[in-house]
Amino acid sequence: MNKGRLEAFSDGVLAIVITIMVLELKVPDGAEFAALLPLLPILGGYALSFVYVAIYWNNHHHLLSLASRITPGVMWANMHFLFWLTLTPFVTEWMGRQSFQSAPIMAYGGIFFMSAVAYKILQQQISVTTIHPETFKKAFQRDVKGILSPVLYVAAIVIALFAPVVSYGLYALVALMWIIPDRRLVAVFEANHEEKTHSH
């Protein structure tokens, strides 16, 4: 299987997921700015989910650059990963509409927990078949963020029972942790990229 087409399909799904979320923002009936107020929590959730999908797109891109062959295992691990991400618009809208109550906040964290697990499975499937095992090892041996994220999601889900707003803050924190570029990782990927360019 051709890697380019798997990437193109994944890009398509992620581009649609990130864009159709805006359909949740139902246009208000009033013509005053006050009519937008009830939409603010939905907009806040939208912004957070946008950042999450952007982070996943970015990580997915780096991960697939290390994939050498698209085995059936990689293909299905990728589809499984996309499945959980397509549920993002649903939980984002539920969370926003119900003004950050316990159940929706927990469901939101649940979907991102499942996405993180699915991403780990994809990572494992690719690690088996890569022809760059050295780069792969260097990139993921101390996968602090990859391990910390699901732990923080579970923490946020439990906390949501008592203080949903704290959970939302935790979700934002995880996003922030991923946005800050990882100097070590960037170095590993650039070294790999240069190596490939030189060997051409």
Nearest distance from C-beta of residue 134 to a copy of itself, angstroms? 20
Q: How far apart are CA 20 and CA 11, in angstroms?
A: 14
Q: How far apart are CA 91 and CA 36, in angstroms?
A: 21
> Which among 149, 164, 183 has a CA at the least distance from the CA of 103?
164
By CB under 8 A, tell whether 18 contacts a copy of itself: yes
Q: Which of residues 60-89 bind a copy of itself (CB under 8 A)?
A: 61-62, 65, 72, 75-76, 79, 82-83, 86-87, 89
159-167: long-range contacts, CB 8 A cutoff, minimum separation 24: 160/102, 160/105, 160/106, 160/109, 161/102, 161/106, 164/100, 164/101, 164/102, 164/105, 165/100, 167/105, 167/106, 167/109
Q: Which of residues 95-154 bind a copy of itself (CB under 8 A)?
A: 97-98, 101-104, 106-107
Query: Which span sits near a copy of itself by CB under 8 A: 14-22, 116-124, 129-137, 148-156?
Result: 14-22
CB 113 within 8 A of CB 47: no
> Which among 139, 184, 174, 138 has a CA at the least distance from the CA of 153?
174
Query: Which span sits near a copy of itself by CB under 8 A: 1-9, 118-126, 129-137, 145-153?
Result: 1-9
Q: Which is nearer to a copy of itself, 92 or 123 (CB)?
A: 92
- The two tokens of residue 146 are 């990859």
Q: How far apart are CA 106 and CA 157, in angstroms?
A: 5
By CB under 8 A, tell whether 8 contacts a copy of itself: yes
Q: Which is nearer to a copy of itself, 7 or 117 (CB)?
A: 7
Query: Which span sits near a copy of itself by CB under 8 A: 10-18, 115-123, 130-138, 140-148?
Result: 10-18
Name the residues that contact a copy of itself, by CB under 8 A.
1-2, 5, 7-9, 11-25, 27-28, 30-33, 35-36, 47, 50-51, 54, 57-58, 61-62, 65, 72, 75-76, 79, 82-83, 86-87, 89-90, 93-94, 97-98, 101-104, 106-107, 179, 181, 186, 189
